[in-house]
Chains A and B, each alone.
Chain A
């Protein structure tokens, strides 16, 4: 399945803003590459080390790297969701502060850092822009004594990279609709027609991680 999609990806995005390797190309802020330059950041475990350094050592330099990458994206995300620039800036700071405080809850065998940041930003949007509570499922924690296996972390990050590739290969109209859904521009009724995303493998991977977590908790 992904082999086919890869073929399409290599041919197609050249004409778009995205280069043939858009994922790498976008790792720049104001023209400066901010990721993968100091050898500390394996492509397959992007940003995971920085979160661990915050969790284990309150590492402000690691936080600054994450901030430089994610804060402008959170701000853009919130502005597309209807916030003005000043509020979006304030909320982006709060989201990043939450990331610091919740670093111990991040589980890299179930989500990438980008996914985790998205969930915090989404909840901030619901709280501040929609003024609604956000019920979340019961928390499942590894606890201080157990950590996910590095192999599981790598596998999840790889599945996510494949999901990105597959999404970049979607017809542009469908991709735009998906983006609108996540920016909060589609009602839950309009989302009905937006399924059919290639999520089978990543879903299985997350399910395995949940099974291991349940086992560890018992």
Chain B
């Protein structure tokens, strides 16, 4: 776990994650960040404590049927569900991402999008989109803005833009107001997880984003 994370998730995202109301792609971002950041994990679990109180303090609990306890014991006697297969260790991808990639960083199905930049779209529900980005060391992604909210978290290497430098575990939160030119550190290729809640504009966004590359 990294002790040096500087850029964290917002209270709004952590509360929505605890309440279970985020789109799947954002859940994946939060779960991945919490795997690396105990500061945010403690914040998220304190929001879960609020949920525990809300569940427990309901004045209008609804009676279960008379046979429900026996039915539950019968369910239990069928045995525990098969646990998820243990993942091989991966220094880059925390386990929530391994579940979506189906393995380690070596199993990512990259698609080149120009200038050595690659992406892999992850299978989540349609309300929002999650993708992995590979930016070769030293490469600058052209100046661009965002539709909706986009969160980008570094998994390997680092990038810098007009806001700050972002290294493993750091999350940059970009909205429509941010225009930036992220540049990967020269020392190492940069791998990021990026999620956006503007899925309808997504197909247009990517070609526009990388138009300068594709023209070359």
Contacts and interface: CB of A to CB of B under 8 A. Distances in A.
Contacts of A72: 61-64
Interface stretch (A2-10, A37-45, A122-130, A146-154): A122-130
How many chain A residues sit at the interface, stated as a range, is 35 or more
Contacts of A63: 73
Interface in A25-64: 26, 29-30, 60, 63-64
Interface string B79-121: 0110000000000001110011000000000000000000000
B214 interface: no
B64 A92 contact: yes
Given A134-B20, A135-B100, A191-B19, A117 B42 contact: no
Contact of B51 (A68, A115, A188): A115
Contacts of A85: 62
A137 B31 contact: yes
Contact of A71 (B15, B35, B64): B64
What band does the interface of chain B fall in when counting residues whose beta carbon is under 8 Å from A? 35 or more
A94 B35 CA distance: 27
Contact of A101 (B13, B41, B80): B80
A178 interface: yes
Contacts of B96: 135-138
Interface stretch (B21-29, B165-173, B199-207): B21-29
Contacts of A73: 55-56, 58, 61
B216 interface: no
A183 interface: yes
Contacts of A96: 72
A125 B22 CA distance: 13
Nearest to A125: B20
A112 B54 CA distance: 13
A188 B22 CA distance: 6
B50 A74 contact: no
Contact of B72 (A67, A183, A187): A67
Interface in B1-60: 1, 11-13, 15-16, 18-24, 26-28, 30-32, 34-35, 38-39, 41-43, 45-60
A116 B18 CA distance: 11
A91 to B, nearest CB: 11
B17 to A, nearest CB: 9
A214 B1 CA distance: 9
B46 A203 contact: yes
A160 B55 contact: no
A17 B201 CA distance: 48
A30 B60 CA distance: 11
A34 to B, nearest CB: 11
Given A67-B69, A93-B75, A199-B47, A214 B38 contact: yes
A194 B21 CA distance: 13
Given A73-B56, A135-B32, A182-B54, A187 B21 contact: yes
Contacts of A187: 21
A211 interface: yes
Contacts of B53: 114-115, 160, 163-164, 167
A132 interface: yes
A73 B76 CA distance: 20
Interface of A: 17-18, 22-23, 26, 29-30, 60, 63-64, 67-68, 71-77, 79, 85, 88-89, 92-94, 96-97, 100-101, 110-112, 114-119, 121-123, 125-126, 130, 132-139, 160, 163-164, 167-168, 178-179, 181-184, 186-188, 191-192, 194-195, 197, 199, 202-204, 206-207, 210-211, 214
10 contacts: A73-B56, A76-B61, A118-B54, A122-B18, A134-B24, A137-B41, A179-B54, A181-B15, A191-B12, A191-B21
Please list the 4 inter-chain residue pairs (A to B) with the smallest Cβ-Cβ separation, ordered nearest first. A115-B52, A72-B61, A188-B16, A135-B31
Interface of B: 1, 11-13, 15-16, 18-24, 26-28, 30-32, 34-35, 38-39, 41-43, 45-65, 68-69, 71-73, 75-76, 80-81, 94-96, 99-100, 124-125
